[in-house]
Amino acid sequence: MQHAPSLVLFDLDDTLFAHRNAVSAGILAFRLHHGGALGAADPTIEDARWNELEERHYHRYLAGELDFVGQRRARAREFVEPFGIDLAADHLADEWFDRYFDHYVNAWVLHDDALACLDALGERGIRLGIITNGDAVFQGNKIAKLGITERFEHIVASGDLGFAKPDRRIFHYACELFGVEPEQSVYVGDRLETDAIGAADADLMGVWLDRNRAGTPEQLTRAAAAGASVIHTLDELPALL
């Protein structure tokens, strides 16, 4: 990108919104409230197990194997199976997930560096948008609760389109909404392949937000080969651009 970009697009979960922190806080609070064997189980192990189930079944939803409610039911049923809790009936799985979800929502916050980054880009006249893999209504409600809806001209959710990141079509669709060429656009996200490399392959400037500095040498080499930049906090983004 030879000139300063006119458009910066963001991922939502774990880029702007502290999703993983909210999940961990939510599942811990719910387990303790539930009590019994579920409440007494090792919190580190159960947190990791819940995260793995979310990752696996949410990608089944994105691939069209499950609908949005179906992936929630699958996560709930598999999570409680070791504790002998029967959620075979759909209404029981829904009720269980809804009780967990209340705790998750209570923990919703932005990452500490999100607003300052958005402010800095806005002051430079850079247009802002979001591309998120997920259900449009759910993600839109989340953005509204976080109080950042008005900061973005357009919010693109894969649930409305039938294709998801890293499919280049979703990046091009967003650029067309803004009337901006991909080459003058940036996409920032916390996943190397799905976000940064997916964007780079679609001719945007891809930026990998590796908050925990967890990138392996192989991943960093892959990012460089794709032309994707790597940052560790959103505070670094304005200077990068």
pLDDT per position as a tens digit, 54-72: 989 988 988 889 998 999 9
pLDDT surpassing 60 at residue 2: no
- Helix (H) / strand (E) containing 176: helix 168-178
- Is 188:216 a contact under the CB 8 Å cutoff? no
- Helix (H) / strand (E) containing 73: helix 68-80
CA atoms within 13 A on the CB side of 42: 4
- Is 139:132 a contact under the CB 8 Å cutoff? yes
pTM listed for this prediction: 0.89
> Residue 31's pLDDT band (boundaries 50, 70, 90)?
confident
Tell me yes or no: is domain 7-18+109-240 CATH 3.40.50.1000: yes
pLDDT surpassing 60 at residue 170: yes
pLDDT per position as a tens digit, 108-164: 999 999 999 999 999 999 999 999 998 899 999 999 999 999 999 999 999 899 899
229 vs 1: CA distance, rounded Å: 12
35 vs 33: CA distance, rounded Å: 5
